[in-house]
Amino acid sequence: MKKQFVLAVAFSLAFLVSASAAGCVLHVKRVACVGQEAESFKKCDGKAECDVTEAAASTDAACAKAALDACENKRLDITKSKVITATFKGAALAGGFGADGKADAKGANFCGADRADMNKCK
């Protein structure tokens, strides 16, 4: 019994360490067009927001690019807007660039509100 407990604790700790060391994690929050919540939130298992692990992003720059790429909104009549923040190995990444050309604060939204593919609900 004691051996099983020790193994269970060791397995749990290994899982926690690997989860916290996850490379690139995007936090995606969608705002649906009126009446389109079910379809818009489908990618987050019916919720407005969720975390998505980007396994292919092996550097913070690749993670930031994945976050910017994830901003694209192809379903203009379903999703009104998105807010995407990113972390790489647990550290918040800067969210794109402001109008002044300087990097936004760490933890900021990668999807600008002025994007042409946002706020197009009919």
Q: Where residue 8 falls among pLDDT bands split at 50, 70, 90?
A: very low
Looking at residue 113, its pLDDT comes to 76
**Both structure tokens of 15:** 């899982």
> Sign of the C-alpha dihedral, residues 34, 66, 22, 61?
negative
Cα(70)–Cα(26) distance, integer angstroms: 9
Cα(63)–Cα(91) distance, integer angstroms: 11
Q: Is residue 27 part of a domain?
A: yes
Q: Residue 91 sits in which domain range?
A: 23-122
Q: Where residue 98 falls among pLDDT bands split at 50, 70, 90?
A: low
pLDDT tens sequence across 11-69: 443 443 344 457 999 999 999 999 999 999 999 999 999 999 999 999 999 999 999 99
Q: Is residue 5 part of a domain?
A: no
Q: Is residue 78 part of a domain?
A: yes
Q: Is residue 18 part of a domain?
A: no
Q: Is residue 45 part of a domain?
A: yes
Q: Where residue 96 falls among pLDDT bands split at 50, 70, 90?
A: low
Cα(103)–Cα(110) distance, integer angstroms: 10
The residues facing 86 across adjacent strands are 26
DSSP H or E stretch at residue 6: helix 2-20
